[in-house]
Structure 1
Amino acid sequence: MAVASPAGMRRGPRRKLALAAVAGLGLALSSGLPAAAAPKPSVKQLKKEISSLSKESDKLIEDYYNSRIALQKADKREKEARKRLDGAQEVLTRESTRLRSIAVQQYMNGGPNIANVFGGGTADGLEGMLPRLALTQHLVDQQYASLKGYAQVRDDFSRAQKEAAGREDELRDKVEDLEDRKSKAEKTIEKIRDRIDKLFEVPGARTDGTFVPQLPSGSDNITPRMRLVKTLIQERFDVPFGIGCYRSIQDGGEHPLGRACDFMLSRGGAMPSQQEIQRGNEICEWVVKNGKRLGIMYVIYRQRIWHVKNGSWRTMSDRGGTTANHYDHPHISVY
C-alpha cells in the first residue's frame, strides 16, 4: 500500500482551504449581485390571466347591468314620489287659501278668529273649537268639514314629502353604487386590454431592451414596429379624426423614415374639443406607460415632449400654430 508523502499530506489541507475560500468568495459575490429580472410572462400565462380576468369582468358587467336597472327603477319611483308631492302641494295651497278666506270672513263678521286653528290645530281638537263660532249650524258644519279636510290634506302632504325625501336618498345611493361598480368593471377591462397588448410580440425587440433598426414596408410605408403601435392605439382609443404617418418631406424628423405617426384630434388645424384633448392625454399616458416595451423613442403633445431616455415631459419652444405645436394631435416616434 502506498504511503502519502509529507508534502502530499501538506497539500491536501491547503487544497481544501483554497477550495473553501473560492466557494466562499463565489457565495459572497453571488449575494452581492442584483436579483435577476422577473421573466416576462409567456403567451400561455397571459392567456390564462386573460381568461380569469374575463370571468371576473363578466361578473362585474352583470353587476353593473343589474345596478343600472335598479337605478332606473329608483329614478322612476323618485319621479312618481315627486309628482305626488307636487300634487299634494297644489291641494295644500288651494285648501290653505280657502281656509284663510273663511278666517277673514269670520273676522269681518265679528266672530272668533279661526286663524289659530289654521296655524297649528289638529283634526282631533276641531270639534271643541267649532261650537264657539257664532254661526248657523250649517256654517259650523261647513267650517268643520273644511278644517277637517285641510288637516287631511296637510297630513297627505307631509307623507308625500317624507316619501319624496326617502326616494331621493335611495336614488343617490343607487347612483353611488352604480359608479362604484362601473369603476371596478373599467379597471378589470383595462387589465384585460393590457394583457392582450402583451400578447403582441414587438418586432425587432432584443432581450436586453434595445431594438433592431427596421426598414419601412407595406403600402403605408412605415416600419413593422410603428405599425404595431399604430394598430394598438387605433383599437384602444378609436382616433376618429385619422392617423397620419409617412410623408416624404425631409424635415429631419421620423415621418420620412416610417417611424412616426400623428394621431389627429380635430380637422383643419382647429383646436380640439375638451373630450378630444382628454383622448390625447389618455393616448400619451398609455404610450409612456408602455414606452420601453414597445420601443417608443419620444412623444410630442401640446407643446411638450417626452423622451424615453429622460422619462419626463419638458416644454418645447413655440412653433407658431395649433398643429405645429401639436395641440391637435399627439406625435409618436419609435426606434
Structure 2
Amino acid sequence: MTASGRRRCTLALTVVVVVGALAGAVLRPGAGSASPPPGVPGDEGGTPLLRDVLEATGRGYVQARTALARSQARQARLATELREVQDRIAELGPEIDLLARNAYRTGRIGPVLALLNSSSTDDFLERARGLETMALWDNHRLHELNQARERASRAKLALDAEVTEARRQVAVMQRQKREAERALALVGGRSTGGFVAADSPVARPAPRNGDGSWPRQSCGRADPTTSGCVTPRTLHAYTEARRAGFKRYTSCYRPGGPYEHPKGRACDFSSAPGGFGGDAHGADKTYGNNLAAFFVRNADRLGVLYVIWYRQIWFPATGWKSYGASHGDPSSDHTNHVHLSLL
C-alpha cells in the first residue's frame, strides 16, 4: 500500500472511532442524555450546600419543636400540681388559724388545768388521751401544711425552669427558620400556597423514643423498591403511602447522588404509573399534588424532613416555598416525581 493509501485508511479509522465515541456518549445514560432512563430520577438539582443546610436546619428545627412540646407538657403537669397544692394550703388555712388562736388564748395552762381538775384516775387518763390526740392532730396538720408549702415551692421553681427552657427552644426554632429561609432564598425560594389538603388520609405514626424524639436509624431494612436498603422510618412512610392508595412507581435507595437516598432516608414517587418521564399533567399531576399533600399533613407522624414537588419545596420551618435549584429538566424540577426525605 502506498503512503497516501495508508494515510487515507488511518483517517477513516479515526473518524470511525470518534463517531463511535460520540454515539456512545449520546446513548450512555448520564453522559449527556436528554432524560434519565426509566426508574432512575437522575440529577434532582440543588447544591451540596443547600442540601446540607436543609438537612441540618431541618433536624435542628424538628428537635427543638419536639423539645418544646415536651417542655410545654411538663409545664402543664407542674401547673396542675401547683394549683392542687395551693388549694390544699387554702383548705388548711382556717384550721391552722384556729390552732394558732387556741394556743395564744390558752397557752400551756389550759391543758395542765384540765388534767388537774380530773375527778378520778380514769378521768385523768381519758383527758390525757384526748389531749394527746389533739396534739397529734395539730402536729399532723402543721406537718401537712409545711409539706404542702415545700411542694408548692419546688413546683414553682420547676415551672419557672420549664418556662425558661421553652423560651430557649423557641429561640432555636426561630434561628433554624431564618437559616432555612436564607438557604432557600439562594434558589429563589418564595412563599407559595403549596400543596395542602385537609382531607388527606391520616397515616399511622412511626415509632418514637419514650421522650417523643425521633430515634437515629441506619439503613438496615431491605428496600422494597430496589436491591438496596432503607431505614425503618423510610419503610414505614413508604408503606403508609401505599396504604393510602399511592401505589405508582417508587424508587428509594441509590448508592450515590444527592439528598438522603444513599442513606436510605429518601424516596422518589413517580407521578406517572410507569416510571419517571416528562412533566406531569392532568391526572398525573393531581396524583402528585395529592401525594405531596399527604406527606405534609402527616409530616409529624412520619418524621418528614422535607418534600419537593413541581418546583416547590415544603420544609417544617418554612412551609411551601418555590424551588429553583434545578437544571430545567423534569427530574431536577421535580415535575415528574415527588421527593420525600425523612429524619
| TM-score interval, normalised by the smaller of the two chains | 0.3 to 0.5
Larger Rg: 1
More helix by share: 1
Give the alignment's TM-score, normalised by structure 2: 0.41
- Relative contact order higher in (CA < 8 Å, ≥ 6 apart): 2
Give the alignment's TM-score, normalised by structure 1: 0.42
